[in-house]
């Protein structure tokens, strides 16, 4: 690599935007170009416009950087988008049409036919959609997305099982962290001494996104995987880390040991390419009977892995287990950064002259 690529961050003052900025500090391949936010913040230095909520300290270099509007023309080789879905639809298209690669964490474009819903460990072949997308939009720019924070933790564990044994049914009950709702997000009154049994729009995402991610790319299309998913989503008083109680049935029934080994030994392209943000182990399996726990395990593999524990037979489906993912790292900004790293490794991100 010669010089670092400059990344602009859209939605830089939000909770996902803050994670982008924190994770890009000292990144070996990327450096922060422009930062952009909505109208109120434009023209302000970052530390005045942003109420920093990430538990790691704010990088000093961004403190006095001035916020731009979310419009093409930013000094950047490509764009990370941490925009809310309600805004992302149009803005991300504007950037793609203006020639920027857009690496988005937003939900808006995820399920569109020619937009990759990319998890580098799982479906790097879906990147072939990009050329179709570029044809349609007649632009050198494009949009690549990563999944919802709950989906990605789940699908990292489902992928090796699906490839090895063929998933038939997946039931998942989630206990999701506060940071997943953005800021201010959930009211303190609603979560102290409480659990909320409902997160708007979340179950739909978890029940559909994995089928696209695990689908086969063929003749310019992604054929959805065919198995049933049921999601029941809850919000708990935890800062970071989505815990998910999962049960699965499969076509080819493995032994318990085979199942564990299949999860624990899972390695894929990002590990082979040694991408800077790739976890050494995409799925970490813990043996202790009371793990994974959000507080203790969310930072394993720097928050880029799915941590699995309590794997055991299920009297209703075949096997059940708990899994945990760091929802603002692998579940958001970290996922997008890993996507960008794969794009760069594939020659699909380049420095502008």
Q: Is 149 tagged catalytic?
A: yes
User: The tokens of 218 are what?
Assistant: 């063929």
Provide the minimum distance between the beta carbon of 212 and its own copies in the complex, in angstroms, as a whole number. Answer: 16
Q: Is 47 tagged catalytic?
A: no
Strand partners, 75: none
Binding residues vs its own copies (CB under 8 A): 52-53, 55-57, 169-171, 173, 175, 178-179, 181, 183-198, 207, 228-230, 232, 234, 236-239, 243, 245, 247, 289-296, 299-300, 309-310, 314-317, 320, 322
| Nearer residue to its own copies within complex by CB, 235 or 344 | 235
Provide the minimum distance between the beta carbon of 326 and its own copies in the complex, in angstroms, as a whole number. Answer: 12
Name residues whose C-beta falls within 8 Å of residue 43's C-beta, 6 or more positions apart in sequence.
Answer: 66, 67
| Nearer residue to its own copies within complex by CB, 57 or 347 | 57
Provide the minimum distance between the beta carbon of 349 and its own copies in the complex, in angstroms, as a whole number. Answer: 31
- Between CA 52 and CA 62 the distance in angstroms is 12
* Residue 234 parent element (H or E): strand 228-235
| Nearer residue to its own copies within complex by CB, 292 or 325 | 292
Handedness of CA 214, 218, 222, 228 (dihedral sign): negative
Catalytic residue among 109, 126, 162, 242: 242
Name residues whose C-beta falls within 8 Å of residue 245's C-beta, 6 or more positions apart in sequence.
Answer: 172, 173, 174, 175, 320, 322
Provide the minimum distance between the beta carbon of 19 and its own copies in the complex, in angstroms, as a whole number. Answer: 13
Catalytic residue among 70, 149, 233, 285: 149
* Peptide bond between residue 292 and the one before it cis (omega within 30 degrees of 0): yes
| Nearer residue to its own copies within complex by CB, 6 or 320 | 320
Strand, helix or coil for residue 267: coil
Show which residues are catalytic.
Answer: 149, 242
């Amino acid at each position: 690599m010669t010089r670092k690529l400059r990344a602009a961050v859209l939605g830089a003052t939000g909770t996902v935007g803050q994670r982008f900025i924190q994770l890009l500090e000292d990144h070996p391949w990327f450096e922060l170009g422009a930062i952009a936010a909505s109208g109120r913040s434009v023209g302000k230095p970052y530390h005045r416009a942003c109420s920093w909520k990430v538990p790691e300290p704010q990088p000093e270099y961004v403190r006095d950087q001035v916020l731009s509007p979310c419009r093409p023309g930013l000094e950047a080789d490509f764009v990370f988008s941490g925009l809310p879905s309600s805004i992302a639809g149009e803005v991300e298209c504007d950037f793609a049409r203006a020639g920027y690669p857009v690496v988005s964490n937003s939900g808006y474009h995820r399920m569109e036919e020619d937009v990759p819903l990319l998890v580098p460990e799982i479906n790097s072949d879906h990147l072939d959609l990009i050329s179709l997308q570029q044809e349609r939009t007649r632009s050198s720019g494009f949009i690549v997305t990563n999944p919802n924070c709950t989906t990605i933790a789940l699908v990292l564990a489902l992928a090796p099982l699906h490839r090895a044994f063929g998933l038939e049914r997946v039931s998942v009950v989630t206990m999701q962290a506060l940071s997943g709702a953005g800021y201010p997000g959930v009211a303190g009154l609603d979560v102290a001494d409480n659990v909320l049994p409902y997160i708007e729009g979340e179950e739909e995402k978890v029940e559909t996104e994995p089928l696209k991610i695990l689908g086969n790319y063929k003749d310019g299309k992604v054929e959805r995987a065919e198995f049933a998913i049921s999601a029941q989503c809850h919000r708990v008083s935890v800062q970071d880390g989505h815990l998910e109680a999962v049960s699965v049935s499969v076509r080819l029934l493995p032994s318990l040991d085979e199942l564990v080994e299949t999860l624990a030994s899972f390695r894929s392209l990002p590990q082979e390419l040694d991408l800077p943000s790739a976890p050494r182990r995409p799925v970490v399996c813990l043996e202790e009977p009371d793990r994974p726990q959000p507080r203790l395990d969310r930072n394993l593999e720097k928050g880029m892995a799915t941590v699995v524990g309590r794997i055991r037979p299920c009297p209703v489906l075949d096997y059940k287990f708990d899994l945990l993912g760091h929802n603002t790292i692998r579940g958001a900004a970290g996922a997008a950064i890993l996507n960008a790293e794969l794009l760069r490794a594939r020659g699909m991100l380049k420095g502008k002259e």
